[in-house]
Each structure stands twice: as structure tokens, then as C-alpha cells.
Amino acid sequence: MRDERRQRPSTWHLALLAIALWTTAFCGTASGTPPPSSAAAAGPSPFRGPYSRQVVADLWTSRAQRGANSLDPQTDLLSGTPLSGVDKDAVRRQRRKKFRDALDSVRSALPRIKIKTEPKTFLKIRKTLFPLKTRLTVGADYSLQDRQWKLVSSWQDNVIGGTITLNGREFSIAKDWFLPFSEIDQHQVGAKLRVHAGLNMDTGRLFAKFRMRAERLAPIAFGDGIRIDQRVPLDGRNGNAKLEVKGRVSFPEPQVEYSTDRQGNVGIMTGMGDVEVAIEQLNLCFEY
């Protein structure tokens, strides 16, 4: 009975034997001693299942063929079987395709920009004078399409900011004021006061007109677009020649259509127009 107990391997013997086999399999490459290539060379193995010495020997052989310091991420370290591989190039191509499709969908949803360039061209000549603390501007416009001259003038008072006009023998000045009804809502509802006073130089008669009406300042609406009126200096900031551009930018309005039929099918279609930029005038101005 004592001899049979001594011949049976204990748990500690099995653990030490397992550590020796694993050390030989994975560290034998550095020392140059390969592990046993078969189970018969080292006697009967106490291991059963996927972690047997034969599997460890096969793993050591595959690592020796690839190199001691190389690990294949697509191979199982224990069983040596290849994992489910993923084509990285195919993944990159698929991601690029998804990005291009998303970009195309965004581009198709954005409104396009249409530019209309059929401007009228004028040659404008202006002269500004400052008599009696006023601003007097006289000049002429020449239309290159119609080949006609047009005299223009404007006279403004720098003291109260009114507009001075000379119509025939009548000399007059006009000024507008906006009077809000409430201090809280100053820019919504109020009264517009217009004062128009003048002198008839033939008869010497003075006159004055007053007009007041309630008005509500409408919010900024982009339905009719935004006016463009810019002047670009051609010979420096303090020069006399300027390029005047007048136009309009029209923004699109979203469109939503709802439809249904007798079968109960419902359809909704959304869309948006284009942004239109129209150049109405392109003028060359000389101001002195």
C-alpha cells in the first residue's frame, strides 16, 4: 500500500511538471533548446485537452518559423488557429465611400448660388460744396446704354439733418422725426413727424407743413432680399475715382408640400430654392 501511494503523482508534482513544460515551450527559443516534438519523448503527459504538450510543441515551431519576437495578431496564441481576419484596405475604402456619400447628401441639401450679371452702367460726376454749414452736391449721370445725360443735386443741412431742395422758385427744407410711444418698446410703435417749411421767392410767402402718423417698424424681412450699395476706391482711400456696385441678394424660401390620396398614402416633400445674386448697376464715379 505504501509503494502504491509513493508511485501516484501528487498535485504538486503535476503543477511543477506543467510549469516546466510551459517554460520549455516559450523560453526555449532564447536558450536554443527546442521543446520536445512528441509526447513519447518525455513520457506520459499528465495533461489532457487543448493544453497538451503536442499543442505547445506546435506553437513553438510556428513561432520559430515567424521569429522569436514576432507575434501575429490574427493567430490565436494558444491554439495556433487563425482568427476571423479583417481586410483593412476594404474597411478604409468603405469608410471613404460613406464619407463621400454623406458629403454629397449635404451638398445636395444646400442651396446653390446663381449670379445674374446684366448691370446698367453709368458715368457719375459729383461736386460737393459746403455753403453756410450745409452740404450741397451737384452733378450729372451719363447712361452708357441710353446715351443720355441726367442732372442730379442734393442739399442737406448739417445742423438738424434736413434735406434742402430748390424746385423752381421755391426754396424748402424737410426733416423727419420718429417719436416712440413707449420707452420700453421704442423701436416698435411710434409716430412719424414730418416738417416741411419753405419760401416762395416770387411772392415772398413763407409756409410750413406738419404731418404726423402712427407707424410700426416692421422687422427685417429677407423676402425681397438685401440691397447691395458699395463703393470701392480705385486710386486710394482719399482718391476721386470709385467703382460703385449696386445689386440685390435674394435668399431662398423653404418649400414644404403635403399630399395624400384615396388609399391613404401620405407624401411630404421638402425643398429649398437658390440664392440669387443680381448685379443691377456697375458705375464709375468721380467725386470732387
Most trustworthy range by pLDDT among 132-136, 142-146, 224-228: 142-146
Given a cut of 70, whether residue 284 has pLDDT beyond it is: yes
The Cα–Cα gap between 271 and 276 comes to 16
State the chain's mean pLDDT as an integer: 73
| Of 123, 111, 116, 148, the residue nearest 228 (C-alpha) | 116
Average pLDDT over residues 263-287: 81
Task: Show Cβ contacts of residue 116 under 8 Å, excluding neighbours closer than 6 positions.
Answer: 276, 277, 278, 279
Residue type, 283: N
What would the pLDDT profile of 189-234 be if each residue is shown by its tens digit? 778 889 999 998 888 899 899 888 877 665 555 566 788 889 999 9
The pLDDT of residue 271: 62
pTM of the model: 0.50
| Of 12, 11, 21, the residue nearest 44 (C-alpha) | 21
Q: Is the dihedral of CA 64, 65, 71, 75 positive or negative?
A: negative
The Cα–Cα gap between 133 and 225 comes to 37
| 66-70-71 Cα angle (round to 5) | 100
Q: How far apart are the first and last CA of the chain?
A: 130
